[in-house]
Amino acid sequence: IKGRITMDKMVTAVIAGTERQLNYSVEVMFDTAEKFGDIQSALDIVSADSVDGFEAVKWFAIRMANDAELCRRDAGYDPQPMLHDSDITRRIRPVDLEELRRAVVDAIRLGYQREVVNEDEEKDLGLEELQSKKAKAGE
């Protein structure tokens, strides 16, 4: 369950032996509000070393992994299996739970993070043009 931030603003986590992207989207945000009331309450529960904390981490991991899978499919990638409740059990090692918890929190943080452009940095105009062409081709 190694977490790393990818260029597309998702976090990668290994769940049930498979690398999965975690995406904190507006849909997950709305589900979070229904289940926990607000994000701070949710994060308080996620951080707890308790059954409730485990269940909250699991809830977020499954929803964000499945949301990311739907994003993959929308982008034209071949479908991969969706995660199910039985894919994350209490048999998980504590160290793996901590890594999954960190990935969940990172994905939530990225969901709210704005991209800040430093005007003082040099820009690679060739790279920007290539990215712009790729974006237009994907429309």
Q: 32-81 pLDDT, tens per residue?
A: 999 999 999 999 999 999 999 999 999 999 999 999 999 999 989 999 99
Q: 2-13 pLDDT, tens per residue?
A: 444 344 689 999
Phi, psi of 52 (to 5 degrees): -60, -40
- Distance, CA of 82 to CA of 20 (rounded, Å): 10
Give the 3-state secondary structure of residue 30: helix
Instruction: Annotate 76-133 with DSSP letters as a single string.
Output: TPPP-PPP-GGGS-TTS-HHHHHHHHHHHHHHHHHHHPPP---TTS---HHHHHHHHH
Write down the pLDDT at residue 69.
Answer: 95
- Distance, CA of 64 to CA of 126 (rounded, Å): 34
